[in-house]
Structure 1
Amino acid sequence: MTVPARHLEPVSALAAERERLAAVRRYRILDTPPDGTFDTIASLAARSCDAPVATVAIVDSDRIWFKAAHGLHGVSQIDRDPGLCASAIQHDTAYVVTDALTDPRTAANPLVRGEMGVRFYAAAPITTADGHRLGTVNVLDTRPRDASEAQLAILGDLATLVAQELERRLSSICTITAERAMRTRAERLVRTLQRTLLPPALPGVPGLDAAGAYHPVSQDEVGGDFYDLFPLDGGRWAFFLGDVCGKGAEAAALTSLTRYTLRAAAIYEPDPCAALGNLDAVLKGEYQSDPRFCTALFGVLAPEPDGSFAVTLAGGGHPPALVVRADGTVEAVDTPGGQLVGILPEPHFAQTDLRLAPGDALLLYTDGLTEARTPDGAMLGDEGLIAHLTSTPFEGADNLLANVHKLLTELGAGVSDDTALLALSVPRRFEPSGQEPLR
């Protein structure tokens, strides 16, 4: 069945208008704040045509919205129907009304019959690269007149500038949107990768509270800090914390190798210094042409009949751990002479023994914490950290890490490197009668 052409035209016009409105939405220009570029274009249009009023107008579905208006104060939009701009966008070329009061196309328009009393109107369509007319650059006057070919040519050039500016802005918006999406994907990838380098959760150790935390400085770069806690035979437990050189994918690979090497070494030889020596040999063998190194603390916990834990701790060039005693005093656990892992010809690793009694805690941290700057610009250092812990009571591993997290938050921008934390605490023991806790 053949449909008469008169039935096709309205459908075609509606489809074209839908496409045009889709283009208007595509440029994301409606209801945006004033902009100097478009204000300048409106001003140039008015001056070039010797007209008191000029606008950069976008034709929406039910309104004419002014991106810029020269000589038209307090008006940001008007109804579309009937509208001068709405008529102008039906034409590919300049649209001119020399006397709106006598022109049947515009005689009933509120701008003509109303207080403004428009008599002259000239406009050039703002046409996109794919042929959609979004609106106009136009001039208005309250006296009937004509426009020269030169003036209409200028309006056409200004309308082209508007279209080019809209394209440029759309390109910028798309670029920014894409960059944000890429950054979001990258951040998700970094977080996922970072999680694979740390234990998803620390295991429960009978008679001991354990807590670990990682505080990244950047959301888009993988750090090289690591920690772990895992069981050995005979009721003992191994733990370690450290920091590899560098950041990014190479640091992630080094961190993964370091973590799993220490785990494997502890199973076959739980002596802390031997575990660090094994890691040193693996790193040297893996990175012969491009040496890589790390710092680390490696320890073994052994429960005692009285509820305390015997700890053997070895150091390889890492900041000392801190023991926070039940009475609030803080002691540094030095492993003097412990050297970097993976780079020296014959490194020396040192170890020491200590005891964690009920109420005591052991804190391991990477140097992102102590190298942070205080508000006066000084480095926090071991002494500053000890002073903070001494002045702030704690109860348990979680509370100790919350205390350190509060410190990192207070230092704010002074923290310039990632920080890994591992806290191990022995719960206090209380007499059933509520007497003083046993030590």
Structure 2
Amino acid sequence: MHGARGDDGPFEAVRKAIWAAPPNDVIAVAADLLDRHAGGADTEVLMIDYRQTFLVRTLSTGDDVPVDNTAPGRAFASQRPVQEDGGGLAHLPLTVKGERIGILSVRLPDGGPPWLDDFAGVLARALKIADEATDRYRRLRRRTRLTLAAEMQWDLLPAPAYRASELWFAGQLEPAYAVWGDAFDWATSADRFTLTVSNGMGSGTESAELTHLAISALRNARRSGGDIVEQAELADEAVFGRHRGERLVDALLLEFELTDGRVRVIDAGSPVISRMRDGATERIAFEAQMPLGMFGDTRYVPQEFAVEPGDRLVIVSDGVHGARSPAGVLYGDAGLPQAMRATRLQDPPEAVRTMIRHYVGFHGGTEPSDDAVIVCVDWTGRDAEAGKTGPEA
């Protein structure tokens, strides 16, 4: 909407005021700043709910705003500013490194100041940081109460999306308010992107605890410098040490080399990976190895494949690929390839949101029998320009 700040004076004062705001008051302070420095009115910050179907009001009363078929929803889905009421009301995405936080809606005279886009970027970052210091925004985002197991899983998750020059990642859990054992984890370094999709055996808090133990072990090994082999072996040892082979964690571990697109994989259970390349979808099969916690001393052997610029990878848990329609059709055989083709033009965060809706609709109005995770990775490859970093939005 606005590409340049123009006079940095007002924007610098606004930026400092947002960063100085107490965590609970970031949104209220932002609205006041737009009023005083830009003549803003009817300011609202809409935050995306856990299931990513509604934008939740934070400043005004009234119904939450559906993502589908609304102007704020179009701004959220497309990640582009949307104007209505003849351009007087603007809806701007609030996004940090690919993670979609919500929408800033504000009515401004004459299209608003030249620093409006920068203001939205600062507000998004401030909200991301404030979320670590207060429960306010997590309370606002939930449209119903989370189960205890879901609370555990959401607290365990990293950011649900990440964008860099080499790749774009997004993931989502379902049922968002009652998930139990499915999860994903990721981390990036100068040369690698590590991704894990896991599924703890059982249901309820026992399953959530099991997944928590496995991911904590994977992180401990990774943060100590271990590769995916060491990560899998420590998690296997930790889960076996606690449950003696009676409870297991299925996991798919991937380690992307950012320099050349080589991917090392350990297939330790039920999550599966499909690739879309040049419009065609295929499942990538690996030699299955023991789930984490089976024996405690399993020696995992990585396998390799390569991604090319333009490739899309979709990784799903058994709750997705093993789901059946009321007619008995496997989602992994029919529904998933169809969903991948239908979302091929969408960016990963929106593609995952759409695929979750498609997966739920596949059940024909019945409740899925298992929880589910869907993860999407678009590979663009490292830019040859030295030192280039990924986009901020």
TM bucket by the smaller chain? 0.5 to 0.7
1:293·1:342 contact (CA, 8 Å) conserved in 2?
Answer: yes
Q: CA, structure 1 residues 355+396, in 2 after alignment: closer, same or farther (shift >3 Å)?
A: farther
Aligned Cα root-mean-square deviation (Å): 2.9
Q: CA deviation at 1:238?
A: 1.0
Identity among equivalent pairs (%):
24
Q: CA, structure 1 residues 360+343, in 2 after alignment: closer, same or farther (shift >3 Å)?
A: same
The match for 2:375 among 413, 422, 439 is: 422
- Letter of the aligned partner of 1:280 in structure 2? D
Spell out the pairing of 1:19-418 with structure 2 (5 A cutoff). Answer: 187=146, 189-216=148-175, 219=177, 221-232=178-189, 234-288=190-244, 291-304=246-259, 309-325=261-277, 327-344=278-295, 347=298, 349-382=300-333, 384-390=335-341, 393-412=344-363, 413=366, 415-418=368-371
Q: CA, structure 1 residues 294+382, in 2 after alignment: closer, same or farther (shift >3 Å)?
A: farther
Q: CA deviation at 1:368?
A: 0.8
Gaps of 5+ in 1: 1-183, 431-439
Q: CA, structure 1 residues 188+244, in 2 after alignment: closer, same or farther (shift >3 Å)?
A: closer
- Letter of the aligned partner of 2:352 in structure 1? L
Q: CA, structure 1 residues 427+256, in 2 after alignment: closer, same or farther (shift >3 Å)?
A: same
Distance in 2, matches of 1:194 and 1:277, equals: 22
Bigger Rg, structure 1 or 2: 1
Distance in 2, matches of 1:383 and 1:351, equals: 29
- Letter of the aligned partner of 1:322 in structure 2? S
Q: CA, structure 1 residues 229+276, in 2 after alignment: closer, same or farther (shift >3 Å)?
A: same
Where in structure 1 do 4 or more consecutive aligned residues deviate above 6 Å? Answer: none
Gaps of 5+ in 2: 1-142, 384-393
Q: CA, structure 1 residues 317+397, in 2 after alignment: closer, same or farther (shift >3 Å)?
A: same
Distance in 1, matches of 2:339 and 2:147, equals: 34
Q: CA, structure 1 residues 319+251, in 2 after alignment: closer, same or farther (shift >3 Å)?
A: closer
Q: Name the SS for the 2:270 alignment partner.
A: coil
Deviations, residues 1-33 of structure 1 (Å, cap 9, x unaligned): xxxxxxxxxxxxxxxxxxxxxxxxxxxxxxxxx
Q: Name the SS for the 2:173 alignment partner.
A: strand
2:307·2:379 contact (CA, 8 Å) conserved in 1?
Answer: yes
- Letter of the aligned partner of 2:262 in structure 1? A
1:177 matched residue in structure 2? none
Q: Name the SS for the 1:425 alignment partner.
A: strand
2:194·2:253 contact (CA, 8 Å) conserved in 1?
Answer: yes
Deviations, residues 344-364 of structure 1 (Å, cap 9, x unaligned): 365464432222222111111
Distance in 2, matches of 1:331 and 1:186, equals: 38
- Letter of the aligned partner of 2:180 in structure 1? G
Distance in 1, matches of 2:161 and 2:353, equals: 16
Aligned length: 239
Distance in 2, matches of 1:429 and 1:343, equals: 38
Q: CA deviation at 1:333?
A: 2.0
Q: Name the SS for the 2:302 alignment partner.
A: strand
Distance in 1, matches of 2:330 and 2:172, equals: 22
